[in-house]
Amino acid sequence: MTTNVAGTTAETASPASTTRPPRTARYALILGGLTAFGPLSIDMYLPALPAITEELLSVPAQVQLTLTACLIGVSAGQLDRVNGVRQHGL
């Protein structure tokens, strides 16, 4: 309740009473997808390493470096999201 200039009180709508769905469900879905991305990419990547080695006519050590690059990319993406959350206060 707030008091206006005329001295009467009026009901004010709180931000929680809007019809917008809660943001926590959306955040949980996004975070769940981002959390699953790393393990899923590794689970799909590891069985393909021998085939990639054959296709690229390479040695296994060089192909394993591509897995390292994949892991660095996943971790850099997660660090970027953490910094974005801290910056925007979400």
pLDDT digits (tens, 9 = 90+) for 12-62: 555 555 666 678 888 888 888 878 888 888 898 899 999 999 999 999 999
Report yes or no on 63 lying in a domain. Answer: yes
Residues in Cβ contact with 10 at an 8 Å cutoff, skipping those fewer than 6 apart:
1, 2, 3, 4
Q: Which of 78, 84, 89 is nearest to 33 (CA)?
A: 78
pLDDT of residue 23: 80
Between 81 and 70, residue with greater pLDDT: 70
Neighbours of 63 (CB within 10 A): 19
Report yes or no on 2 lying in a domain. Answer: no
Report yes or no on 56 lying in a domain. Answer: yes
Domain containing 55: what range?
37-90
Report yes or no on 47 lying in a domain. Answer: yes
**Identity of the highest mean pLDDT range in 1-15, 38-52, 71-85:** 38-52
The reported pTM is 0.54
Task: Quote the number of domains for the chain.
Answer: 1
Q: Alpha-carbon distance 71 to 78, whole Å?
A: 11
